Amino acid sequence: MTKRALIIGGSVGGLFAANLLRDVGWDAVVFERNPEELAGRGAGIATHPQLHDVTRRLNILFDDSMGISVDKVVFIDHDGQVYDERDTVRVMSSWGRIYRSLRDRLPSENYRLGMTLTRVEQDADGVTAIFADGTRERGDMLIGADGGRSTVREQFLPDAQPVYAGYVAWRAMLDERQISPDIHAEIFHRYTYCLPPGELFLAYPVPGRNNETEAGKRAYNIVWYRPTTPEQLADFCTDTTGKNHGTSIPPPLIRPDVIAWAKQQARDLVAPQVSWIFENDPRPFFQAIFDMDTPQIVFDRVALLGDAAFPVRPHPGAGTTKAAVDAAYLADAVAAHGVEAGLQRYKRVQGAFGSGLVRQGRIDGSYITDQHKPREQRRNPDITWAVDDLMRDHDGRSEVVLRLFNESRRMAE
């Protein structure tokens, strides 16, 4: 009889898991709580060889249509002058481009919208997912791929909560055709850094809002990491009615005065070329940065995957790669060893990989959190915050991911 996997969460992690499990003979069904298909905004992603390996298994090739190649990194000062330029090799894709490639591969009946999980029950023979509308679904295994605020993880680890890193990422994106010709010519094909004291501003080209990579249809993406106190974050997450949304507010509800303040900050602190792009996005938004070194990712027949397993800071640029690698190892392990033994191997190997990425994200994030601390309190007291330090991290991301990947694999030997 065909084994059945219940996958909670319809983003790229859940879709990687569903597609890879189907390819090893499982019936895999995705349950997404949103009533409509997901859409990403301002979600540019870096890619790593391990991600390419997994997409290749699914016959999703990383050709020119999957991303935009960037071969230059530039550092621009407040006055708009380039003060350093380096060669690089990067392929910048987008969440939407990866999502669409995976979603199109999955039959519609295997992707169910409007399904909000309320709890999970297990017995010796299988697992049952119970949803808010009363639906009960039975399977041999359940995968929690429902993001950094995972409902599945919350049930099994109620006391383990992601920790606020002390800063937020402001995001903006502008369609290529909306960018003035002089700014486009100067920076569009480059990965751009601005370095206000204690902050990190990144800008780079990504596929367009409908995942286009053709010239004229692409977009320019901004990610701006800024230290933000818990009190400031609470204010940012309070809407015009006075309702506080915790640590995450839907972008349409961000108050106009908060957006106006952020745009003024861009004018005051970063190069005019990129502040112009930030200002001309009608609705920039922010995301608070969290992480967690999760103590356990397998609970009998239930496994956590991707951000649900380990919320990782975004600096290693490996969130999508981690989801893909998690899904590939899980599918291979249960195919080769069965559910119970396979999930135990997954726990050991991908637990080490995820924990390593959490540690690396904290090291990378120290650029933002430590600059104003006394040297003896810094996570990395020897860093000078110079261009060479940033470029070492920028160009070394794939090597770091590969090292953590290989170290985790050795645990299976």
Report the range of poorest mean pLDDT among 80-94, 113-127, 237-251, 265-279: 80-94
- Torsional sign, CA 139, 144, 149, 153: positive
- pLDDT score recorded for residue 364: 86
| Mean pLDDT of the region 17-22 | 98
H or E segment and range at residue 264: helix 256-269
Instruction: Indicate whether 320 and 264 sit together in one domain.
Output: no
Instruction: Indicate whether 51 and 125 sit together in one domain.
Output: yes
Instruction: Indicate whether 80 and 193 sit together in one domain.
Output: yes
In which domain, by residue range, is 342 found? 4-58+97-161+294-410
Q: Read off the tokens for 217.
A: 């249809």
CATH label of the domain that carries residue 115:
3.50.50.60
Residue recorded with tokens 């959190």: 369
Residue where a domain stops, chosen among 258, 290, 322 = 290
Whether the Cβ atoms of residue 75 and residue 83 lie closer than 8 Å to each other: yes
Instruction: Indicate whether 197 and 258 sit together in one domain.
Output: yes
Instruction: Indicate whether 181 and 279 sit together in one domain.
Output: yes
Which class for 214: exposed (0-12), middle (13-18), buried (19 or more C-beta within 10 A)?
exposed
How far is the C-alpha of 354 from the C-alpha of 376, rounded, in Å? 28
What does the H/E/C string look like for 42-66? CCEEECCHHHHHHHHHCCCCCCHHH
Which class for 217: exposed (0-12), middle (13-18), buried (19 or more C-beta within 10 A)?
middle
% residues pLDDT > 90 (the chain): 71
CATH label of the domain that carries residue 222:
3.30.9.60
pLDDT of residue 41 exceeding 50, the answer is no
Instruction: Indicate whether 169 and 243 sit together in one domain.
Output: yes
Which whole-number Å values give the CA distances from 158 to 26, 128, 151, 277, 313, in the listed order?
A: 30, 19, 10, 41, 21
Q: What is the DSSP letter of 244?
A: B
Nearest to 222 by CA among 205, 237, 207, 208: 205
Instruction: Indicate whether 191 and 250 sit together in one domain.
Output: yes
pTM: 0.89
Instruction: Indicate whether 249 and 371 sit together in one domain.
Output: no
pLDDT of residue 62 exceeding 90, the answer is no
| Domain count along the chain | 2
Instruction: Indicate whether 77 and 210 sit together in one domain.
Output: yes
Q: What is the mean pLDDT of the chain?
A: 90
Give residue 272's pLDDT band: very low, low, confident or very high (50, 70, 90). Answer: very high
pLDDT digits (tens, 9 = 90+) for 206-219: 888 887 888 899 99
**Looking at this protein, which amino acid is placed at residue 203?**
A
Nearest to 302 by CA among 135, 155, 136: 155
- pLDDT score recorded for residue 384: 58
106: three-class secondary structure by DSSP: coil
pLDDT digits (tens, 9 = 90+) for 376-400: 776 666 555 677 777 777 666 778 8
- pLDDT score recorded for residue 44: 62
Instruction: Indicate whether 267 and 338 sit together in one domain.
Output: no
- pLDDT score recorded for residue 317: 79
Instruction: Indicate whether 86 and 147 sit together in one domain.
Output: no
| Higher per-residue pLDDT: 235 or 88 | 235
Nearest to 94 by CA among 64, 68, 63, 59: 68
- pLDDT score recorded for residue 412: 65
Instruction: Indicate whether 21 and 152 sit together in one domain.
Output: yes
Rounded to the nearest 5°, which phi and psi values hold at 205?
A: -80, 145
pLDDT digits (tens, 9 = 90+) for 329-339: 999 999 999 99
Chain centroid offset of residue 349 CA: 21
Residue where a domain stops, chosen among 263, 290, 317 = 290
Give residue 43's pLDDT band: very low, low, confident or very high (50, 70, 90). Answer: low
| Mean pLDDT of the region 121-150 | 97
Chain centroid offset of residue 180 CA: 29
- pLDDT score recorded for residue 400: 81
pLDDT digits (tens, 9 = 90+) for 143-197: 999 999 999 999 999 999 999 999 999 999 999 999 999 999 999 999 999 999 8
Residue where a domain stops, chosen among 290, 322, 338 = 290
pLDDT of residue 324 exceeding 90, the answer is yes
pLDDT of residue 64 exceeding 70, the answer is no
Task: Tell how strand 111-112 and strand 117-122 pair up.
Answer: unpaired
